[in-house]
Structure 1
Amino acid sequence: MKRVLTFLLLAVALGAVSFTPAQENAFKYPFQNPNLTIEARVNDLVSRLTLEEKVAQMLNAAPAIDRLGIPSYDWWNEVLHGVARTPYKVTVYPQAIGMAATFDTTSLQVMADYSALEGRAIYNKAIAEGKSGQRYVGLTYWTPNINIFRDPRWGRGQETYGEDPFLTAMLGRAFVRGLQGDDPKYLKAAACAKHYAVHSGPEPERHVFNAQATNYDLWDTYLPAFEELVVNAKVAGVMCAYNAFRGQPCCGSDVLMNDILRNQWQFTGYVTSDCWAIDDFFKNHKTHPDAASASADAVMHGTDIDCGTDAYKALVQAVKDGKITERMIDVSVKRLFTIRFRLGMFDPVALVKYAQTSPEVLESAPHKAHSLKMAQQSMVLLKNDKNTLPLKKNLKKIAVIGPNANNPIAVLGNYNGTPSTIVTALQGIKNKVGSGTEVVYEQATTFTKDTLLVYTNISSQLSFDGKAGVRAEYFNNRDLKGEPVATRQEPAINNAWQEGETVVGSMKAYNFSARYTTDYTASATGSITLEVEGDDGYRLLVDGKEMLNAWERNRWGAKNFKLPTKQGQKYRLVLEYVQREGKASVQLRAGNFAKTGFKALANRVKDADVLIYVGGISPQLEGEEMQVNEPGFNGGDRTSILLPRVQTEVMKALKATGKPVVFVMMTGTPIAIPWEAQNLPAIVNAWYAGQSAGTAIADVLFGDYNPAGRLPVTFYKSDSDLPPFGDYTMDNRTYRYFKGQPLYGFGHGLSYTTFQYDQLEVPKSSRVNSPVPVRVRVTNSGKLDGEEVVQLYVSKQVPGYKTPIRALKGFKRISLKRGESQVVTFELRPQDLAVISQDGSAEYEAGTVQISVGGSQPDAQSKKSRKTVEGRMALVK
């Protein structure tokens, strides 16, 4: 029988499309037959499961069902800007907000396609190595994050495509299509639109927050991107958010889940909770008394997976108690297996072309080249007075200064993988100018303080039991319990692993703990500062006394304290570490703090031809639910959008030298830089640009790439421009409703050449609910070849309706040689000209529509210089 089954599977792989009844009998179960429909196979499989087996499949870590030959599978995986958190080396692209700054759907779709290929290679490799049930090797990716970046203080805004619903929808659609592929039967990978919905901070309150939004804001701002991905892009999955919406947890929302997602949009894919969100029902929102009630309600609202907890295990008792029927459990389990069958997980490798993807695609040359291309495309030239940029390559001396100049963590953003090579800004500049130019570097300050820990190598002063180094004990649990699985001597405490990577022996970097013990012998009387940096948690004891405690979840957090010392005295250091999920790292450093003298710094670099300051902020400060104790930051969010004052003070000192100061700003969120905008000649916003960030920065600074990135978010002038963070109304938020004057507006970005617009063609009138063609001619009127992002904005005022000041409804990134012209065409969809009523419905009303097309939003200056052109059209019924 086994030989017959093998023959039949081979026949399917070679193109057989049907079986005789006798041949089909060779399959033990119908669900194993690739010739049946996926629906028939799923129905057969689920009919064979016990209630307990069904419920277990609804956890993110779904166990194997050995009696049916179903392997274990962990749904939890990420691919925000390249495959994330995998133990294998991968290509890392710019952070999502940087990719949004490209305004290029084609580039984003290619990036998603390449990432899916790398994900397939990882999945195939994991199967070959017996790791198929491990987290971060699966094919179900919980990306893209299409939440609207409504407030610049939100630390996770870096994961989004910005503040505009249309831009987010179009980029999200391109991502989904690239990731999921175009095979008529099989998904290349499964995308997941998150976090559904009305979710954008504050991070410290996300497990308890009750978002309130009007129907107008819900349908005008928060839902359009989700609707586009669900209805048109056919995204495979949706993740419901932590917070509540109108008093109900999002994963149990009548409005969001039942009415809109499942009924109005007819979504048939799977829904996963955000991780630990089901526990929030009864632990934080207090809307349910216990796990059974919460789980039953979430499933009845269409939430198929409980991520991160085992709350759904209570569903077995919930069925027995009549809180939910087994038939409702079946609906969820069928959705889940449908995705796995669509991914080809139960079919022969020869039948699924993606299952044949080779590990050679990991970090392949085309992928690395595309990472560089997107990094170049993402660079936004904010200011360039008197053609300060591009710089000449034959300068005698360049000073590169600042906390991000040589920071490999910053360029990778968050939710990232690990590439083999990272190019920082400093290295990129050195590579660009070569040995003929002296490049000097000083960090100068931290992101927020004017003191630096000057590190000392203390490895020679560490010993344990008479042997140099540190005793390391590793435990295969989070609590340092029982006997260690391995004990060994290590030269120092400096370790980093991706989740799932081998730590020691057979132990993987997943839910483990470690204890490092050593004696430090002081070389002098005085003091030394001990600093620990790690991800996730740690605590440091000195002579049995706890001196540092960051045991609870701590993302890239560094803590330090000053230890008084006596020469020759030994101090017992015990560093305990725990890893829960994601990356694992722990490092012990030592040194002494030194205050930076800004005048002295300026005096040291004043002989340079140009001073390049690389600052901003970092994913070490902003991100998801972080523990950060720095001024201006809280829980991963920002309490102020101003650039940390210490960085402005450094740049003031540098400007006083009289030498040109170029500010390269890395960030995932908008930063207010009023002094810099007024006083510095050139500013480049470089985001977190991925593994080739430094190369792209240098290419722009020295003119080998003409920048054309555009801001996908508004850069405001000050904190006073912002409404309260927790207010989810859109009044005076984003360029669509902000009534003030921004520092740099949405869509802003300069070039080393100039472009002019003319010959705008807009119909004089058009019937409502009809497509509208728009044409415009764009000319590169400058002296250099370059790229332009052509942007189309619509303004429409209708009595009795609230409308945005203007709204982006079309964009195209084009390349023009100097003197070249191109006619760019758009077709406005009927919904692009609709208005949203107070009840949230789209209405197609008559009225006058103003259409603006240009390289930015329209203003008096852009219209005068022909950088934008405008036309009017009458909509009639």
Structure 2
Amino acid sequence: MAKSHTFLIFTNFLIAYLFILGCARDVPTNSYNTLGHGDATPIGSNFTFLCDPKRASDLVKQMTLSEKVLQLGNTNRGVPRLGLPKYEWWSEALHGVSNVGPGTFFDDLVPSSTSFPTVITSAASFNESLWKTIGQAVSTEARAMYNLGRAGLTYWSPNINVDVEGTEDFKDLNSRPLKVSSCCKHYAAYDVDNWKSIVRESYDARVAEQDMVETFLRPFEMCIKEGDVSSIMCSYNRVNGIPTCADPKLLNQTIRRDWDLHGPQYTSLGKKDICSDEHVELAREAAREGTVLLKNIDQTLPLDANNFKTLAVIGPHANATAAMIGNYAGVPCKIVTPLDALSAYGEVDYKVGCGEMKCRNDSLIFPAMQAAEKADATIIVAGIDLSIEAERGLDISFAKANKKIGAILWVGYPGEKGGLAIADVIFGKYNPGGRLHMLPMTSMPLRPVDSLGYPGRTYKFFNGSTVFPFAYGLSYTKLNYTLKSAMRSTHIKLNKFQHCYGIKYRKESHIPHCPSVRIDDMDCKEKINFQVEVKNAGDRDGSEVVVVYSKPLEGIEATHIKQVIGFQRVFVPAGGSKKVKFVLNVCNSLRVVDYNAYSVLPSGGHTIIIGDDIISFPVHVNFSS
């Protein structure tokens, strides 16, 4: 029995700074300013954080050169004679309040904070409401720690990475924190770090302007316009020879003028808001929603605890603690390991199998094999961790092809309650619905170059082979789609200030009379409306991620294969159905970026794809004067 019920859990614990700042809109003048290590200093009545550029400029003019120098870097020393207090800018809160930066610390008063799954796991949930709830929970604990003198108000989170998030259309995972100041980093084209001998401090990212506008800048624009962050951190690298922290176009023109950077509001909280039962349960739910079922031969999973009473739990991550919470982590409230959680379901024989991630000592493998032979089911918890990750992916094609491995789960870095989430999924308390959102890192250029055998990068352009495709994920139940209604055309009348714009087509392609119109010249109020019914034809409740793509017209040169334009995660009870409505902006959904880095809306027949080509329908764009 053990050989036919062996499965793997892959984890990713398995598998000089310059800021551009906005202005807080409403900060009480009696707020406390924290340098760190318990040094909380009241802000005097002659100094507030209220947005007043003229006042800020006047304050800087009154400083001496040496006083200005003392304000550079993450630790500002303050200017007492001007009523300017000292302040530590550096705090981190990517997936929970962290003590990585000197602005935050834990002690007897605040010994811990909730450690949520890292964003590589949360992103796999494809659940925007979950991301917002996590962001609000993290900011609640951050603000409470500030009020207790254990943290600052400025947090250098979230991190933006094109390959990890997989799409420019993912919303900021910690968007709208409301209670503290968030910061998106690293801006821009900063997607390689310790990869193929690249050193981030000296790396010069050679990026086409087309790629900058379409992919590398887009997430930061969304951070500011939709996530409402109050600051942006420039990256360590250069872009096309210019250090990003010294590029006036990136810093002044794009961020301040084009995107109108501003900031959030603040509020007051206390110790009871840290490690609350609600937040701890949210960490467990986030780990469950981010779990991806990659393989499940003959319904190997879920296990029935009545039939599988002895478990061989094997692998260096089976009893993982710190490895589960990844990097940018603080002190978790209480970690539950996979071993702890699985022990509640039966008799467990735990064998480490390998003493460390690279498994250079195979002396521990034989005892693990013996345990597997005796058990009703064998659970292997394996993968990589931060000691060897270094921006690299994990090839699990061997596990996909091995018929003796009945099921594969991917859980990323699932946070402090990751062990409970893993056990919930294995024993059927939770039906997995997560989706993969990563493709292999190749090089900085996004578009493929066939003559060089270069396959491109990200799901939008990559034309090579994959072990599992983008947005792949299985369920314990069967879910079917039906298109209930759809708008199949849109007519846009151009005014005298709007003009047709030529874009490059392949020679054999038909070129429309009015090929496209630049989006900057349009009002862009038109919508695409359609409705999909998701029916659960199985006997288990489950969640389904409905992913919607647009595919551009055939023949346009150097554009994407497809792009995500929307997604919703919906819960559908066994035997039930759920109607999912999408109302999407035409310009955002059907746009392409041409060689000159202009965003344009092409005319003609675009294609809307729902799911993995489960349903598709055309949408025609017509222009007239």
1:439 aligns with 2:462: no
- Offset of 1:764 from its aligned partner? 2.3
Supply the distance in 2 between the matched residues of 1:224 and 1:190 (Cα, whole angstroms).
21
Partner AA of 1:706 in structure 2: N
Q: CA deviation at 1:51?
A: 3.7
1:762 positional shift? 2.2
Distance 1:450 1:247, change over 3 A: closer
Matched residue, 1:117 = 140
Aligned to 1:651: none
Residue among 407, 423, 426 paired with 1:698: 423
Of the candidates 403, 414, 417, which is equivalent to residue 316 of structure 2?
A: 403
- Deviation string, structure 1 residues 228-282 (Cα, Å, up to 9, x no partner): 1223433211011111111111111244234423343344x5xxxxxxxxxxxxx
Output the CA distance in 2 between the equivalents of 1:870 and 1:726.
31
Q: Give the conservation status (yes or no) of the 8 Å contact 2:115–2:333.
A: no
The corresponding residue for 2:481 is 757
Q: State the Cα distance separating 1:752 from its structure 2 match.
A: 0.7
Alpha-carbon RMSD across the aligned residues, in angstroms, is 2.5
SS of the residue 1:367 aligns to: helix
Match of 1:736 among 443, 460, 478: 460
Deviations 1:592-630 (CA, angstroms, capped at 9, x unpaired): xx72354x53234311000000001112322xxxxxxxx
1:56 shift after superposition? 2.1
Structure 1 residues 358 and 604: CA distance shift in structure 2, 3 A: closer
Rounded to whole Å, the distance in 2 between the matches of 1:690 and 1:393 is 25
* Alignment partner, residue 6 of structure 2: none
Counterpart in the other structure of 1:871: 617
The aligned counterpart of 1:5 is none
Q: Deviations over 1:302-354 (max 9, x none)?
A: xxxxxxxxxxxxxxxxxxxxxxxxxxxxxxxxxxxxx7xx77xxxxxxxx7x2
User: How far apart are the structure 1 equivalents of 2:477 and 2:485?
Assistant: 25
User: What does the per-residue CA deviation read over 1:743-789, in whole Å, with 9 as the maximum and x for residues that have no partner?
Assistant: 11111111111111113422221135422112111111111111111
For 1:412, the aligned partner's letter is I
- State the distance in 2 between where 1:145 and 1:245 align: 18
- C-alpha distance in 2, partners of 1:828/1:191? 27
In structure 1, distance between residues paired with 2:222 and 2:252: 18
SS of 2:430's equivalent in the other structure is: coil
C-alpha distance in 2 between matches for 1:764 and 1:105? 27
The one of 805, 810, 824 aligned to 2:561: 805
User: Matched residues in 2 for 1:33 and 1:205: separation?
Assistant: 40
Map residues 209-288 of structure 1 onto 2, 5 A cutoff: 209-267=203-261
Alpha-carbon contact 1:32-1:41 (below 8 Å) kept: no
Residue from 171, 192, 207 that aligns with 1:201: 192
Report the counterpart of residue 641 of structure 1 in structure 2.
none
Displacement after TM superposition at 1:29 (Å)? 8.8
Find out whether 1:675 has 2:398 as its counterpart.
yes
- Paired residues of 1:214 and 1:729 also in contact (CA < 8 A): no
Partner SS state of residue 175, structure 2: helix
- Cα deviation 1:563-604 (Å, max 9, x = unaligned): xxxxxxxxxxxxxxxxxxxxxxxxxxxxxxx72354x53234
CA distance in 2, matches of 1:797, 1:234: 34
- Contact 1:450 1:596 (8 Å CA) reproduced: no
How far did 1:396 drift?
Answer: 2.6
Aligned to 1:853: 610
- For residue 836 of structure 1, the aligned residue among 589, 593, 604 is 593
Question: In 2, Cα distance between the equivalents of 1:33 and 1:393?
Answer: 60
- The 8 Å contact of residues 446 and 456 in structure 2, kept in 1 or not, is answered as no
Aligned: 1:685 with 2:410: yes
Could you tell me which amino acid in structure 1 is paired with residue 603 of structure 2? A
The answer to whether the aligner puts 1:49 opposite 2:73 as a matched pair is no
Q: For 1:263-412, what aligned pairs fall within 5 Å after superposition?
A: 263-267=257-261, 354=267, 356-394=268-306, 395-412=308-325
Q: Residues 560-575 of structure 1 correspond to what in structure 2 (within 5 A)?
A: none
CA contact (8 A) 1:765 1:873 kept: yes
Provide the secondary structure at the position in 1 that maps to 2:374.
coil
**2: distance between equivalents of 1:602 and 1:792?**
44
Q: Which amino acid aligns with 2:147?
A: N
- Tell me the secondary structure at the aligned position of residue 459 of structure 2: helix
Distance verdict in 2 for CA 1:216–1:68, change over 3 Å = closer
Q: 1:581 is matched with which residue?
A: none
Mapped partners of 2:447, 2:557: distance in 1: 16
Q: How does 1:7-46 map to 2 (within 5 A)?
A: 31-32=46-47, 38=52, 42=56, 45-46=59-60
Question: What amino acid is the match of 1:700?
Answer: V
Taking structure 1 as reference, are residues 794 and 800 closer, same or farther at Cα in structure 2, changes over 3 Å only? closer
Relative to structure 1, the CA distance from residue 754 to residue 39 in structure 2 (aligned partners, 3 Å threshold; closer, same or farther) is same
Distance 2:218 2:283 in 1: 29
Residue 99 of structure 1 pairs with residue 122 of structure 2: yes
Report the 3-state secondary structure (helix = DSSP H, G, I; strand = E; otherwise coil) of the residue aligned with 1:681.
Answer: strand
TM-score, normalised relative to structure 1: 0.58
- Normalised by the length of structure 2, the TM-score is 0.80
2:359 paired with 1:602: no
Inter-CA distance 781–391: structure 2 relative to 1 (3 Å threshold): same
1:817 to 573, 578, 582: 573
Give the whole-Å Cα distance in 2 for the aligned partners of 1:12 and 1:165: 38
Q: Assess if the C-alpha contact under 8 Å between 1:447 and 1:615 holds in 2.
A: no
Greater Cα shift, 775-784 or 735-744: 735-744
Counterpart code for 2:363: K
**Residues 315 and 382, structure 2, Cα contact 8 Å, conserved in 1:** yes
In structure 1, give the amino acid aligned to 2:269: T
**What CA deviation, in whole Å up to 9, does each residue of 1:467-526 have, x standing for no partner?**
xxxxxxxxxxxxxxxxxxxxxxxxxxxxxxxxxxxxxxxxxxxxxxxxxxxxxxxxxxxx
Match of 2:340 in 1: 427
Bigger-Rg structure (1/2): 1
Task: Report what 1:495 is aligned to.
Answer: none
For residues 257 and 316 of structure 2, the distance between their equivalents in structure 1, rounded to whole angstroms, comes to 50
- Structure with more helix by fraction: 1
Question: For the structure 1 residues 442 and 33, does the alpha-carbon distance in structure 2 shift closer, same or farther, using more than 3 Å as the test?
Answer: closer
Where structure 1 has 5 or more consecutive residues not aligned to the other structure, the ranges are 1-10, 14-27, 132-136, 150-156, 182-187, 270-338, 344-351, 453-593, 623-635, 639-669, 717-721, 859-867
Q: Any idea what the Cα deviations from partners look like across 1:189-220, whole Å, max 9, x if unmatched?
A: 11111111011114242111111111221122
* Amino-acid identity (%): 32
1:665-718, Cα deviation, whole Å (9 max, x unpaired): xxxxx422112101121000011100000000000000001111111113x6xx
CA distance in 1, matches of 2:219, 2:326: 23
**Residue pairs, 1:524-673, within 5 angstroms:** 595-598=363-366, 601-622=368-389, 636-638=390-392, 670-673=393-396
CA 1:205/1:726 → structure 2, altered by over 3 Å: closer, same or farther? farther
Higher relative contact order (CA 8 A, sep 6+): 2
Match of 1:774 in 2: 530
| Residue of structure 2 aligned with 1:164, choices 163, 167, 179 | 167
Matched letter for residue 416 of structure 2: Q
The count of residues paired between Structure 1 and Structure 2 equals: 530
C-alpha change, 1:56 and 1:869, in structure 2 (3 Å) is same
SS of match in other structure, 1:823:
strand
What amino acid sits opposite 1:712 in the alignment?
Answer: H
Question: How far has the Cα of 1:729 moved from its partner?
Answer: 5.2
